[in-house]
Amino acid sequence: MLVCLLAIAGVSLYNVLKLNKDYQKDRESYEKVQNIAENTQKGNINFDKLSEINPDIIAWLKLEDTVIDYPVVQGDDNVKYLGVLFDGTSGGCGTLFADSRTEKPFEDPCTIIYGHHMKDGSMFHTLKEFRSKDYADEHPVFRLSTPSEEYNLAVTAFLEISAKDSLYKTTWSGNDDKRLWISDVKSKASYLTSTEMRENDTYVMLSTCKGASDTERYALLGKLVSRSM
């Protein structure tokens, strides 16, 4: 029995060490990408250099005082970037990615960005903190940069919903459709902020798994506001 217990302890220790090593590898990969992104005299994200690494890049998402400071890609499907880092290597944390079915990211009524809820606190782990409206009040605005525009992403609503919820829309059929979607957001939200929701506004939904659940999601909705306005 003692031998069995020692063997189990050994395997457990090995798995923990391997997991930590994998986390460290992924973090180092994104630290390199962050350094490249910030290597510009204009103070903006260096999309030219980033697109040389990965032409799928469409944006950069940042939330001050948190680990969220990552590139956003859009692939041909919603599977690839679950296990592929921005630099193309395999990695458990994957890459933040926009829903592949979105025709015009950040121009369509709502663009959905997916990211893992990582146990080491990386990627979209921070979204769970928005369960508290106080946290949202303290972190009211993300910064979202694209190759052509700089946006503020004003936190609008937090939701805990099914992965199959109707709010995960990628096709739209006019103002009536948008009006019903906004009504649905308001009825399902854990809370709404003071940010007004209007039919002609453009939104981004940040989505991650609710803990270890494969069927439940944390979803944070933000309204896009051009920083040039």
Domains of the chain: 2-226 (2.40.260.10)
| pLDDT greater than 60 at residue 120 | yes
Q: 55-72, pLDDT tens digit by residue?
A: 999 999 999 999 999 999
What average pLDDT does this structure show over 144-152? 95
Cα–Cα distance between 58 and 36 in angstroms, integer? 16
| pLDDT band with cut points at 50, 70 and 90 for residue 20 | low
What is the mean predicted confidence (pLDDT) over 90-105?
A: 96
State phi, psi for 75 to the nearest 5 degrees.
-100, -170
Q: Which residue in this structure is represented by tokens 């508290």? A: 132
Q: What is the pLDDT of residue 210?
A: 93
Amino acid 1: pLDDT: 59
Between CA 130 and CA 208 the distance in angstroms is: 12
Nearest Cα to 125, choosing from 34, 208, 202? Answer: 208
Assign 19 a pLDDT band (cuts: 50, 70, 90): very low
CB 124 within 8 A of CB 161: no
* pLDDT tens-digit map of 168-186: 999 998 888 999 999 999 9
DSSP result, 84-95: B-TTS-B-TT--
Above 80 in pLDDT, residue 113?
Answer: yes
Mean pLDDT along residues 31-40:
81
- Average pLDDT over all residues of the chain: 89
Q: Is the pLDDT of residue 211 over 90?
A: no
- What whole-number distance in Å separates Cα of residue 109 and Cα of residue 177? 10
